[in-house]
């Protein structure tokens, strides 16, 4: 197969190229993105709160020390700082008190961070602490200028923030790993599930491609998307099988209905050629019969082509507005003579005009075929009725006879090409007349149907009806 790019895909390629894997990967990526977003919100929420809490504690501490300074002076503050540092077991508190000349008076900080002390009386600073024995830490520092020119700095080391960050990062890494694992597992499971659900359809399609039209996609009880796909595949296959049956029926019928007259013509001519007696009249008769048989073949052939032409919709080109009442009158006049010749009476009934848009030759052919059938199947002395009426925007045309009628089973099949009811086999005809009628009615956007007549049950008569869209009634 030249279309296939990869002849022997490996298992990895199969996994990567599987739709299930792609879906699973997509979902894993979505989950991962959602997780990251969630972690981000969490991060900013917790770290931010921590910072605000730290800041307010620092500010309160600094205010308390400034108050102390105002009440009791520098020495009291130095003492308070000493006390606080002694009490701070975690070693997180930072203090520094500088006199107006910048000399360190108390606290555990060596000096102010560079650039601090030049700004306004109160300011916030970030600084990195250099510990002697530990890793460097981060700190928030609050600088307060006391009225005498001295500077007080109060701060807290905020290593919790770092620890939290590390914790979150670790958690995220685990989560991402788990998501990836689940994605691969999910992909594998999903691919397997998809494959399991699609295998019946694929196998059925393969069988059908192989030439056997009978298999159908087995449906599960889930009634899900796959079942709907399978069901529509089955509907399509039924339709194809029906069409194939139709084609097969037509070719069988052609084989029979055309082969028989061809064979008859051939046999007759051959017999005339081989016969011993050279009676010119017999020879002539044989040749004439041969020609008649061939003419019949041509007629059947033309009827089949005509039906195909009508079914293809090609004859719409000849559509024109016309009054069906005139056409029915012509048909009644043409076939009334035939009915009369058989002692039958043709009754007619309609009110002119019956306007519609259509192909007059084809519509006459329809009425002619129906009347011809009616004359053929009604016993001598019987009645035939051709009537028509306007029903809102439709015209209903009705041809009723007093023939044997049609069984329900035959009614289903009567529009099929070459179909002939059993009791019709002895009468002349090709079995194409009603196929053409049905095709023409459909071409005109109409419907054809059959009803039983009012006769006795074993000989009810047939009523053929068809409905055609009428043209808009002319303004009165």
Residues interacting with another protein, by CB under 8 A?
Answer: 288, 291, 294-295, 298-299, 302-303, 305, 309, 314-315, 317-318, 330, 333-335, 337-338, 340-341, 360-362, 364-365, 368-369, 372, 375-376, 429, 433
Three-state secondary-structure class, residue 464 = strand
Give min distance, CB of 433 to another protein, in A. 7
What is the side-by-side strand order in the sheet with 93-98? 104-107, 93-98, 151-157, 137-145, 122-129
Give min distance, CB of 315 to another protein, in A. 6
Give min distance, CB of 442 to another protein, in A. 17
Give min distance, CB of 305 to another protein, in A. 7
Give min distance, CB of 257 to another protein, in A. 15
Q: By C-beta, is 109 or 375 nearer to another protein?
A: 375
Q: How far, in Å, CA of 340 to CA of 472, rounded?
A: 36
Which DSSP helix (H) or strand (E) runs through 396? strand 394-400
Q: Among 455, 300, 435, which Cα is nearest to 370's? A: 435
Give min distance, CB of 223 to another protein, in A. 49
Q: By C-beta, is 338 or 394 nearer to another protein?
A: 338
Tokens of 283: 């020879």
Q: By C-beta, is 217 or 303 nearer to another protein?
A: 303
Cβ-based neighbour number of residue 458 at 10 Å: 7
Q: By C-beta, is 24 or 399 nearer to another protein?
A: 399
Angle between helices 433-443 and 360-377 (to 10 degrees): 140
Tokens of 335: 């076939």
Give min distance, CB of 311 to another protein, in A. 13
Cβ-based neighbour number of residue 362 at 10 Å: 21
Q: By C-beta, is 18 or 365 nearer to another protein?
A: 365
Q: By C-beta, is 271 or 288 nearer to another protein?
A: 288
Q: Among 108, 104, 55, 51, which Cα is nearest to 83's? A: 108
Q: Among 333, 371, 354, which Cα is nearest to 469's? A: 354
Q: By C-beta, is 93 or 303 nearer to another protein?
A: 303
Q: By C-beta, is 307 or 406 nearer to another protein?
A: 307
Q: Among 403, 348, 347, 398, which Cα is nearest to 374's? A: 403
Give min distance, CB of 361 to another protein, in A. 5
Q: How far, in Å, CA of 204 to CA of 248, rounded?
A: 22
Q: By C-beta, is 75 or 288 nearer to another protein?
A: 288
Q: How far, in Å, CA of 374 to CA of 362, rounded?
A: 18
Give min distance, CB of 221 to another protein, in A. 53
Tokens of 171: 């958690």
Q: How far is CA 403 from the centre of its chain?
A: 49
Give min distance, CB of 235 to another protein, in A. 34
Q: By C-beta, is 168 or 262 nearer to another protein?
A: 262
Q: Do residues 188 and 196 make contact, with C-beta atoms less than 8 angstroms apart?
A: no
Q: By C-beta, is 1 or 317 nearer to another protein?
A: 317
Three-state secondary-structure class, residue 260 = helix
The label of the residue with tokens 């029979």 reads: 256
Backbone phi, psi, residue 410, to 5°: -70, -35
Q: How far, in Å, CA of 335 to CA of 326, rounded?
A: 14
Q: By C-beta, is 108 or 442 nearer to another protein?
A: 442
Beta strands in 93-246 (DSSP E): 93-98, 104-107, 122-129, 137-145, 151-157
Give min distance, CB of 440 to another protein, in A. 11
- Alpha-helical (H) ranges within 210-323 are 225-274, 280-311
Q: How far, in Å, CA of 50 to CA of 157, rounded?
A: 12
As separate numbers, helices (DSSP H) first and strands (DSSP E) second, the chain gives 10, 12
Give min distance, CB of 190 to another protein, in A. 56
Q: Among 135, 87, 124, which Cα is nearest to 108's? A: 87
């Amino acid at each position: 197969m030249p279309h296939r790019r990869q002849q022997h895909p490996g298992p990895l390629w199969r996994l990567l190229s599987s739709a299930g894997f792609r879906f699973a990967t997509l979902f894993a990526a979505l989950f991962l993105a959602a997780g990251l977003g969630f972690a981000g919100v969490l991060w900013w929420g917790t770290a931010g709160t921590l910072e605000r809490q730290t800041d307010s504690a620092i500010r309160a501490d600094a205010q308390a020390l400034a108050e102390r300074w105002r009440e009791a002076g520098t020495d009291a503050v130095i003492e308070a700082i000493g006390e606080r540092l002694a009490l701070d077991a975690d070693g997180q508190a930072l203090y520094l008190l500088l006199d107006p000349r910048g000399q360190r008076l108390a606290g555990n900080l060596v000096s102010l961070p560079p650039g601090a002390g030049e700004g306004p009386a109160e300011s916030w600073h970030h600084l990195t602490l250099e510990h002697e024995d530990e890793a460097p830490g981060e700190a928030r520092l609050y600088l307060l200028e006391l009225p005498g020119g001295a500077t007080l700095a109060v701060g807290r080391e905020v290593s919790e923030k770092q620890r939290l960050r590390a914790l979150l990062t670790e958690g995220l890494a685990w989560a991402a790993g788990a998501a990836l694992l689940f994605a691969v597992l999910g992909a594998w499971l999903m691919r397997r599930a998809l494959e399991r659900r699609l295998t019946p359809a694929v196998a059925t399609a393969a069988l059908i491609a192989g030439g056997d039209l009978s298999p159908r996609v087995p449906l599960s009880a889930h009634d899900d998307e796959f079942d709907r796909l399978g069901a529509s595949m089955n509907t399509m296959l039924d339709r194809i099988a029906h069409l194939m049956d139709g084609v097969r029926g037509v070719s069988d019928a052609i084989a029979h209905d055309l082969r028989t007259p061809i064979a008859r013509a051939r046999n007759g001519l051959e017999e005339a050629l081989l016969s011993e007696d050279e009676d010119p009249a017999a020879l002539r008769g044989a040749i004439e019969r041969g020609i008649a048989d061939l003419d019949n073949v041509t007629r059947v052939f033309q009827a089949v082509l005509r039906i195909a032409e009508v079914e293809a919709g090609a004859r719409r080109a000849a559509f024109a507005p016309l009054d069906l009442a005139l056409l029915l009158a012509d048909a009644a006049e043409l076939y009334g003579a035939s009915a009369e010749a058989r002692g039958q009476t043709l009754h007619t009934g309609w009110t002119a005009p019956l306007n519609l848009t259509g192909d007059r030759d084809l519509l006459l052919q329809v009425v002619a075929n129906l009347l011809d059938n009616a004359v053929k199947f009604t016993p001598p002395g019987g009645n035939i009725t051709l009537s028509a009426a306007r029903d809102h925007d439709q015209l209903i045309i009705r041809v009723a006879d007093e023939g044997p009628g049609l069984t329900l089973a035959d009614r289903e099949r009567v529009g099929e090409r070459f179909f002939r009811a059993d009791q019709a086999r002895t009468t002349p005809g090709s079995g194409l007349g009603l196929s053409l009628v049905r095709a023409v009615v459909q071409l005109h956007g109409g419907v054809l149907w059959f009803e039983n007549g009012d006769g006795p049950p074993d000989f009810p008569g047939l009523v053929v009806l068809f409905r055609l869209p009428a043209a808009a009634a002319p303004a009165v």
